[in-house]
Amino acid sequence: MEATSREAAPAKSSASGPNAPPALFELCGRAVSAHMGVLESGVWALPGPILQSILPLLNIYYLERIEETALKKGLSTQAIWRRLWDELMKTRPSSLESVTCWRAKFMEAFFSHVLRGTIDVSSDRRLCDQRFSPLLHSSRHVRQLTICNMLQGATELVAEPNRRVLETLASSLHTLKFRHLLFSDVAAQQSLRQLLHQLIHHGAVSQVSLYSWPVPESALFILILTMSAGFWQPGPGGPPCRLCGEASRGRAPSRDEGSLLLGSRRPRRDAAERCAAALMASRRKSEAKQMPRAAPATRVTRRSTQESLTAGGTDLKRELHPPATSHEAPGTKRSPSAPAATSSASSSTSSYKRAPASSAPQPKPLKRFKRAAGKKGARTRQGPGAESEDLYDFVFIVAGEKEDGEEMEIGEVACGALDGSDPSCLGLPALEASQRFRSISTLELFTVPLSTEAALTLCHLLSSWVSLESLTLSYNGLGSNIFRLLDSLRALSGQAGCRLRALHLSDLFSPLPILELTRAIVRALPLLRVLSIRVDHPSQRDNPGVPGNAGPPSHIIGDEEIPENCLEQLEMGFPRGAQPAPLLCSVLKASGSLQQLSLDSATFASPQDFGLVLQTLKEYNLALKRLSFHDMNLADCQSEVLFLLQNLTLQEITFSFCRLFEKRPAQFLPEMVAAMKGNSTLKGLRLPGNRLGNAGLLALADVFSEDSSSSLCQLDISSNCIKPDGLLEFAKRLERWGRGAFGHLRLFQNWLDQDAVTAREAIRRLRATCHVVSDSWDSSQAFADYVSTM
């Protein structure tokens, strides 16, 4: 407390801003920082109280360096770093964020601001010191880095003056995020290629996340994907990677790189490698050409495209489909004309043709954005790397154009061009020119619409991405490409060393009903531990009466029983409409290791169907510990709720906005309390949004009475119309029974603002019994907002 009061005085006096501190404080700070290099050795030996008084006078560079010595003397600098955050960053961390180290948080944010040029280090004495490099000094604290807009910061990081910064980042950085990306030029993408190579292939980055990219640039997106998957070839004219030279000496192939192990003459190729090699080589070809475009690109018809690709060795008349992963032995030769797909892939291809894009209401695949502005018919691209014969533009950018009444589909051309058995058939270099390095283990795509070629590339890469442990695809508009994704995941599951254990999938629409999709995923990935799946709107297959509603591929949906799987956590968000309980029960029966189940917005035809699901949980899911229901109408399922509360294996139950007490509350509440009093294994009960009210809260207080055997230690009664007088009476009953501290009590969004004095007294009494978490919620404004939206 003494140290805190010492540093509170200068903080209070500098309330007018960091640039206008008192003259004495400013003078002392400048003197200490200016002579710190001379005094540094002596400062370490200062007594603790004197050192504590000096700490607020230091700039961030010396403050960071003296941290270790301060800890040894039992001093904490967290309050100083928190004050620096408040005064310089001027943002308040999220209430959900628990900051364990303000020093690391400040230095990480400071690095990002300096890199983007959004902070002027010369504007504040605490940030400015000519003897230190801000980027180098703060880089070792960076655990996650965000790249935004036009790839700002990528060029600066790969520049030679920041070489040590990049080396430090390669060892400290774990998460790389991309937000709100826009179109970038060739130079920026070349810098990004080098940056990803250093941070992923030679660094410690294990997670790549992309957020909010409404119109993805296909070349940039595919570059990020292929680099994340471990593929690398240096760009044209770029400097050679010295780390590659060091790593290649004495480097033996590992089993994780089995898809690139060289045989006696040729490498072992699979679909993902052929796709990556073709796309990377075509992009390098466009970058290598620095001649300006002479004329607008000519319009390409289906006929001319087919003739050109056939001349290069690819026949578009053959079946077009994403091939399955090759299982040839290393060194096995394959003729360029030999088909690359197995029989299973052939069947899946015919299945794709049977599932039209109209099987679900979904947006059309996004075409690549035009860079040049001009007349409607002109397809010009400006820039040093643009040319009409660029293979990438030739294959993809002409999608959707019509000539002689024929429309060339982008997915068909992409499959045909990239499904060749040998990349050399397209005039591209062989795969020996590519190298494969370490790849990331977590890939997340949030609100990134996937065009056909992007989805195809992702599926190709996934089929052999054995290092991938967690995959998140959130609102990507997959549509019928979900079938290709399932085939890729099935191929990946068959790979030796597959590590995929968590899959998070959510979208607006799905060509498959959610339960059928869940069954297909569980069949394709029997080793999956965590599955989270959400579909917002029902598919057309939920309505058999829709004309032209074709069925899914037969190998995706089957009537055979689901084999036993390793699922431990299952989360499902359902669209509107009744769900078939037997399908859900079949998934639960095959998931004997399930420990956590969450059902959101699930609707069943009758309470009996819901009871069937609960009975299945009791009989087949003996390891289940946590059960959650959200936004479900359980008003008619009170007997089923009592059945759950009597389950002696569950440790935590959540009924969130389930309308529990809408019917017969006077009879149901005593039955519910009696069931809970006899349950000694239940540790947590969450009841937010069920209109419990004061009467219900006082009834729940009986759970903690002296004759109760309940061991409940977490109670969530948020959004339950609880008033201050009811909460005060609840606190008095807990005091009367002398019940010890029972853990956490959550009171968010209740009507406690109606009597602030009584509410404060109730919370004060409760804090002697439990840890209370509440908020200052304006119930009147919330009600006005609710009425305004009706």
Instruction: Tell me the DSSP string of 727-743.
Output: HHHHHHHHHHHT-----
Letter string b/e over residues 626-663, b meaning 16 or more CB atoms within 10 A of that residue's CB: bbbbbbbebbebbebbebbbebeebbebbbbbbbbbee
pLDDT of residue 314: 38
Give yes or no for a contact between 265 and 331, defined as CB atoms under 8 angstroms apart: yes
Closest listed residue to residue 33, CA positions, set 81, 165, 25: 25
Share of the chain above pLDDT 70, in %: 63
- Per-residue pLDDT band for 311 (boundaries 50, 70, 90) equals very low
Model confidence at 298: pLDDT above 60: no
Q: Which has the minimum average pLDDT: 201-205, 219-223, 730-734, 783-787?
A: 783-787
421 pLDDT higher than 90: no
User: For the chain, which domains are there?
Assistant: 625-789 (3.80.10.10)
Per-residue model confidence (pLDDT) at position 89: 86
* Residue 150: pLDDT over 80: yes
Residue 301, pLDDT score: 38
- Strands 470-474 and 231-232 turn out to be unpaired
Q: What is the mean pLDDT of the chain?
A: 74
**Exposed, middle or buried, 608 (CB in 10 Å: 0-12/13-18/19+)?**
exposed
Q: What is the pLDDT of residue 49?
A: 64
Residue 21 has pLDDT above 50, yes or no: no
pLDDT at 433 over 80: no
Task: Give the whole-angstrom CA distance, residue 483 versus residue 109.
Answer: 41
Q: What is the C-alpha separation between 236 and 286, in angstroms, rounded?
A: 9
DSSP labels, 82-139: HHHIIIII-----TT---S-HHHHHHHHHHHHHHHT-S-GGG-TTT--TTS-HHHHHH
Residue bearing the bigger pLDDT, 65 or 472? 472
State the pLDDT at residue 288.
53
Please tell me the least confidently modeled range out of 53-62, 459-468, 551-560. 551-560
pLDDT-based confidence at 54, cuts 50/70/90? low
Longest Cα pair distance anywhere in the chain, in angstroms? Answer: 90
Query: What confidence score (pLDDT) does residue 434 get?
Result: 56
Lowest mean pLDDT among 231-245, 305-319, 511-525: 305-319
Range with the lowest mean pLDDT among 469-478, 670-679, 767-776?
767-776
Residues 689-744 pLDDT 10s: 999 999 999 999 999 888 889 999 999 999 999 999 999 999 999 888 766 557 89
Give residue 500's pLDDT. Answer: 97
What pLDDT, on the 0 to 100 scale, is given for residue 125? 83
**Residue pLDDT, tens place only, 355-401:** 443 334 444 443 333 333 333 333 333 444 433 334 334 333 333 34
| 37 burial level (CB within 10 Å; 0-12, 13-18, 19+) | exposed
Share of the chain above pLDDT 90, in %: 47
CB 204 within 8 A of CB 171: yes
Q: What is the pLDDT of residue 496?
A: 92
Q: What is the pLDDT of residues 598-631, one digit of tens each?
A: 999 999 999 999 999 999 999 999 999 999 999 9
56-70, 237-251, 737-751: the lowest-pLDDT one: 237-251
pLDDT at 346 over 60: no
pLDDT of residue 358: 37
How much is the pLDDT for 779? 75
Helix (H) or strand (E) holding 218: helix 218-228
| Mean pLDDT (whole number) for 151-178 | 94
Name the least confident of 255-264, 526-535, 664-673.
255-264
Quick one: which of 706, 705, 709, 747 has its CA closest to 726? Answer: 747
Confidence of residue 770 (pLDDT cuts 50, 70, 90): confident
Q: Which of the four pLDDT bands, split at 50, 70 and 90, describes residue 330?
A: very low
8 Å CB contact between 706 and 675 = no
Local confidence band at 541 (pLDDT 50, 70, 90 cut-offs): low
What mean pLDDT do residues 553-559 have?
Answer: 61
Question: Which one is predicted more confidently, 747 or 541?
Answer: 747
Is it the case that residue 293 has pLDDT exceeding 90? no
pLDDT of residue 475: 96
| pTM of the shown model | 0.73
Identify the three-state secondary structure at position 612. Answer: helix
pLDDT for 126? 85
222-242 mean pLDDT: 82
Question: What is the structure's pLDDT at 428?
Answer: 30
Q: Please say whether the dihedral angle defined by the alpha carbons of residues 698, 704, 710 and 715, taken in this order, is positive or negative.
A: positive
Q: What angle do CA 215, 237, 114 make, to 5 degrees?
A: 60
| Residue 555 pLDDT greater than 70, yes or no | no
Residue 329 has what pLDDT?
A: 36
Give the tens place of pLDDT for each residue, 577-606: 999 999 999 999 999 999 999 999 999 999
Over residues 89-135, the pLDDT tens digits come to 878 777 667 788 899 999 999 999 999 888 888 888 888 888 888 99
